[in-house]
Structure 1
């Protein structure tokens, strides 16, 4: 079971890993966007990691969403906050998250982010990463979930690399985005990898 202390530990791992990856993510974003994605992600998780989390895991996830809203006005930061908010609503009033609930929580975050960002699956965005992870986690054991999620996120980056971006600022690059990793997908891979560092 996953309680607030486990969430705090995970946030610390993600904050450390995304801080290390910040330059890489800014560089990837600079090729297709405004080049600040690494700062957005690392600042958001650093703020979340410093936030005192209540025992109620729903309220803990809500606190993570608020941390992102405090330090990031970027579209990616807003989307991540939206995802955390969606999971917070589902887990409110509980002190633990059951591993079996995780695929559904990832799917709920995906759907909320899709509605907020008006994106579709196949647009070559972070939504495709979440979709791949939600599907891969179905039936995974608690012991294999992190590795399964990392593999799914990595596969999503490679699957969409040779497709054009169809959403956000990156879509303006059209055919030039073919062959480049989507910055949002790459960022989500680094976020999930951070779970190994917690």
Structure 2
């Protein structure tokens, strides 16, 4: 992974973020504040606007992306995205090339940072569960293609696994068992971003 890899990923998400945002707003409107899609659109459009100027230092590039995300987002999802990018930035500052085998380690750092800040736990039916599945699936993968294939399958499986479980955190928890049979918007957002790379 390099900053150029990051630029490619940003471009792929930005190219599809408008329809993705509309879908996520609809899902989030049923269980939350209805602003998840707005967060995605504003955040990734802002990141895309600075993409060409990102430094070759991968960690510093991630830090600039974190700043761009949080600058235009007041939502909890945007805050957690920013925090996760900052966690990766700390792990990779000063490096220009990152082995793909380190992807699970970096995702784990992001996950730990989000748990510490957000208060959710694994099993609460949130994007944390999607990331946990992706971390496990990408362990030992040494190429971009192998990592992506594993991540796509893991994100799909996580959505299916939690589809019929209740949401246990955030505004959605007040709906209790009514959230069974409904996808968590954050989990859908993670899957949607991964699908953009595919």
Fold match (TM-score > 0.5): yes
Distance between the aligned counterparts of 1:92 and 1:102, measured in 2? Answer: 15
Match of residue 145 from structure 1: 147
Instruction: Specify which of 180, 188, 191 is matched with residue 189 of structure 1.
Output: 191
Question: What displacement does 1:189 show?
Answer: 0.6
Q: Is the 8 A contact 1:162 1:178 kept in 2?
A: yes
Question: What displacement does 1:59 show?
Answer: 0.2
Q: Is the 8 A contact 2:100 2:141 kept in 1?
A: no
Instruction: Specify which of 175, 191, 195 is matched with residue 173 of structure 1.
Output: 175
Is 1:97 aligned with 2:98? yes
Match of residue 19 from structure 1: 18
Distance between the aligned counterparts of 1:132 and 1:17, measured in 2? Answer: 24
Is 1:129 aligned with 2:130? yes
Q: Could you list the runs of 5+ residues in structure 1 that have no partner in the other structure?
A: none
Give SS of 1:107's match: helix
Match of residue 62 from structure 1: 63
Q: Is the 8 A contact 2:27 2:34 kept in 1?
A: yes
Question: What displacement does 1:49 show?
Answer: 1.5
What is the count of residue pairs matched by the alignment?
195
TM-score, length of structure 2 as denominator length: 0.95
Question: What displacement does 1:11 show?
Answer: 0.5
Give SS of 1:133's match: helix
Match of residue 47 from structure 1: 46
Higher relative contact order (CA 8 A, sep 6+): 1
